Amino acid sequence: MASEIQQLHFLLVPLMSQSHIIPLTDVAKLIARRGVTVSLITTPLNAARYKPIIDNAIEENLKIQMISLKFPCQEAGLPEGCENMDTITSPQLVNQFFLACELLQTQLEKWIGELEPKPDCMISSNALPWTQEVAQKFNIPRYIFETISCFTLLCSRKIMKIIQDKTIVSNSESFSIPDIPHKIEFTKSQLPESMGEKSDNYKGLVEKILQVEASAQGILVNSFQNLEPWYVEEYKKTVKKNLWSIGPVSLSNNKPSMNEHPSIAWLDSMKPRSVIYVCFGSLCRISFEQLKEIGSGLEASNFPFIWIIRGQESSAEVEKWLAEDKFEERVQGRGLVIRGWAPQVLILSHSSIGGFLTHCGWNSTLEGVCAGVPMITWPMFAEQFYNEKFIVHVLGIGVRIGVEKSGGFVEGDQVKRAIERLMNEGEVEERRKRALKLGETAKEAVAEGGTSHLNISMLIQDVIQFNINN
């Protein structure tokens, strides 16, 4: 068996977006730790960005390589260098971006065609349905990688049916999700753009994803059995095929030394569970006016905080305001503003962090869960309203900031009130206990003998079996 595994070669193809590349790179490490050779498809700018992660994996003696294909920006009508979704400058370019991804097919087929022996399987993002065609051409089993939860996957299917039946009329009218064990309500304005009436950009893609799903060999989900047991089992019945939860894949990262970032020394000086960590992911575009309101709410709350202002938000206008308003001077010793990247997993797992103000992206949600940290939920787009409902109503570890639709504006006072509710009102201790318990359960899932660890063994076994039968 061990020699069979060492001869295996897995090919991983992520959508060129942080929210797909990061977890699939983690999956690459998890699989390579079993002795499998892994090739990760990327493009020149993404390869440069993720090279340090792969270099670390190679130092760990893992057989991982990056295969860089030229991203066809020009051919798809994109500006040169637009190789990742976080570099898209306008929503109008989303279509062209997906077209560019599709145009990678010829290069990928050429690369596989020249390889001897061929890869033993392909794992690719659900948003790249064309990869199914590539897998079938070379008789390679393809596994779909889902970057969202089974809760979201199941609820969105039920909502699609409700929309098709036209049982909801106005954007603000709330409706319940039928036949699930929790009371979950949505309004139309909280749904992802791909479900809206003006969603021609996405309609074709969503239909294609569902069509090719039937041909896939199986589905991998970045979640774990004990996080959402009913939803994992129910979604498995819905798709009628092998479905393995293999997460949280972020726990594949070996902890870096604790003194690598200035924020860690700052956190060391704070009381346990006293600091709010504020970060909105790589794709959220936050206006200058909204940033000022966040700043005013953080200051008024009187709680210590770390606030990450990402590259796109850190404009000359923002810097001018921070300087003229003397914001950082006023909160000195209590608040830390970080521009650009910060080691989120490391910060969240620090004992001084008491809460996480998040946009509810699934990667961030899982990182909060793994760290055992309660959350303030501020969904902005995509499936983030699903994740908010999951955090607040299913897991019971969150407090809503109170947005009712994508792009909803939040006043500083709402930020202040949400922090107070999370940190010192109502069922604070109960919420914290639940969050800590989930953090332990997440670690158990990926440890040897845990459900996610066993599911990776089952995936590898499935690939070996496919090759025997074919």
What number does CATH give the domain 2-253+447-469? 3.40.50.2000
Domain regions of the chain by residue span: 2-253+447-469, 262-443
What per-residue confidence (pLDDT) applies to 266?
Answer: 95
Topology, domain 262-443: Rossmann fold (3.40.50)
Q: Could you tell me which of 28, 20, 31 has the C-alpha nearest to residue 462?
A: 31
**Could you give the CA distance from residue 258 to residue 40 in angstroms, rounded to a whole number?**
29
What per-residue confidence (pLDDT) applies to 310?
Answer: 80
Report yes or no: 337 and 295 within 8 Å, Cβ to Cβ. Answer: no
Q: Token pair 């001897």 is at which residue?
A: 116
What is the separation of C-alpha 320 from the centre of its chain, rounded to a whole number of angstroms?
Answer: 32
Q: How many residues are recorded in the chain?
A: 470
127 secondary structure, DSSP code: T
What per-residue confidence (pLDDT) applies to 257?
Answer: 47
**Could you give the CA distance from residue 319 to residue 348 in angstroms, rounded to a whole number?**
26
What per-residue confidence (pLDDT) applies to 258?
Answer: 46
What per-residue confidence (pLDDT) applies to 169?
Answer: 65
**Intervals of the chain under pLDDT 50:** 198, 257-258
**Could you give the CA distance from residue 439 to residue 434 in angstroms, rounded to a whole number?**
9
